[in-house]
Amino acid sequence: MIIIGADTGGTFTDFVYKDGERWGVYKVLSTPWNPAEAVLKGLQHIAAGRPKHVIHGSTVATNAILERKGAKTALITNKGFEDVLEIGRQNRERLYDLAYRKEPHLIAQELRFGIKGRILHTGEELEALDEDTARWAIEKIRKAGAESVAVCLLFSYANPSHENKIRELFKGQPISLSLSHEILSEFREFERFSTTAINAYVSPKMRKYIGYLMEQLDPGDILSIMQSNGGSISADTAMRESVRTILSGPAGGAVGAYEIGRAAGYSKLITFDMGGTSTDVSLVDGALSLTVESKISAYPLKVPMIDIHTVGAGGGSIAYLDEGGSLRVGPESAGADPGPICYGKGDRITVTDANLYLGRLIPEYFLGGNMTLETKRLEKYFQDMAKQVGLDPTELAEGILDVANTAMEKAIRVISVERGYDPREFVLFSFGGAGGMHAPFLARLLNIPKILVPENPGILSAIGMLMADVIKDYSYTVMRNQFNSNREELSQLFESLEKKGANDLASEGISEDKRILERYLDMRYEGQSYEIIVPFKGDYIENFHRLHEKTYGYRNEDKVVEVVNIRLRARGIPEKPRFVKHDMVGERPEENALLGKRDVVFEHKPLSTAVYARDRLKSGNVLQGPAIVVEYSSTIVIPPFARARMDEYRNLLIDVME
Beta-carbon neighbour count of residue 24 at 10 Å? 14
Cβ-contact 40, 189 below 8 angstroms: no
| Helix 393-415, helix 435-446: angle, nearest 10 | 70
Task: List, for residues 365-375, the tens digit of each pLDDT value.
Answer: 888 888 889 99
Closest CA to 617 of 641, 642, 582, 579: 582
Helix (H) or strand (E) holding 562: strand 561-572
Query: Stretch 151-171: mean pLDDT, rounded?
Result: 96
**Which residue in 137, 172, 140 sits closest to 153, CA to CA?**
137
CA angle, corner 449, sides to 446 and 455, nearest 5?
105
Give 392-405 pLDDT, tens digit per residue.
999 999 999 999 99
DSSP 616: G
pLDDT at 55: 93
What pLDDT shows up at residue 557?
A: 92
Q: How many helices (H) and strands (E) does the chain have?
A: 16, 34
pLDDT tens-place string over residues 319-363? 999 888 899 998 888 877 788 999 988 899 999 999 999 999 999
The residues, ordered by sequence, that sit 6+ positions from 533 with a Cβ below 8 Å of its Cβ are 290, 292, 520, 521, 522, 567
Q: Is pLDDT at 658 greater than 70 in this prediction?
A: no
Percent of the chain with pLDDT over 70: 100
Give dist(CA 437, CA 639) in Å, integer. 9
Q: Which of 182, 117, 128 minimizes the C-alpha distance to 154?
A: 117
Q: Which CATH class is domain 2-65+207-245?
A: alpha beta
Mean pLDDT of the region 223-247:
91
- Dist. CA 5–CA 337, nearest whole Å: 24
What pLDDT sits at residue 345?
A: 87
Count CA within 13 A, CB hemisphere, residue 26.
19
Averaged pLDDT, 179-207: 94
pTM comes to 0.88
- The model's confidence at residue 134, banded by pLDDT at 50, 70 and 90, is very high
Evaluate if residue 48 carries a pLDDT over 90.
Answer: no
CATH of domain 66-202: 3.40.1360
Can you say how many angstroms the Cα of residue 82 is from the centroid of all Cα atoms in its chain? 31
Rounded alpha-carbon distances, angstroms, from residue 16 to 29, 461, 511, 642:
15, 9, 25, 30
92-101, 190-199, 503-512 — which is least confidently predicted?
A: 92-101
Residue 166 has pLDDT above 80, yes or no: yes
Domains 2-65+207-245 and 66-202 share a fold: no
Judge: domain 250-313+406-465, CATH 1.10.3720.10.
Answer: no
pLDDT value of residue 382 = 95
Question: Tens digit of pLDDT for each residue in 410-445?
Answer: 999 999 998 889 999 999 999 988 999 999 999 999
Sign of CA dihedral 78, 80, 86, 89: negative
Q: What integer is the mean pLDDT of 565-580? A: 88
Helices (H), 234-342: 235-240, 248-263
What value does the mean pLDDT take over residues 497-501? 94
Pick from 239-248, 276-285, 361-370, 536-545 the range whose average pLDDT is largest. Answer: 536-545
Paired with 28 in beta bridges are: 13
- What are 617-634's pLDDT values in tens digits? 999 999 998 999 999 889
Q: How many CB atoms lie within 10 A of CB 37?
A: 16
Q: What pLDDT score was predicted for residue 33?
A: 82
Q: What is the pLDDT of residue 475?
A: 93
- 172's enclosing H/E stretch is none
Give the separation between CA 79 and CA 115, rounded to whole angstroms. Answer: 5
Q: Tell me: the pLDDT tens digits for 381-391? A: 999 999 999 99
| pLDDT, average across residues 8-29 | 85
Q: Where are the domains of the chain?
A: 2-65+207-245, 66-202, 250-313+406-465, 317-403, 470-572, 591-656
The radius of gyration of the chain from alpha carbons, rounded to an integer in Å, stands at: 26
Residue 232 has pLDDT above 80, yes or no: yes
Average confidence (pLDDT) over 224-229: 92
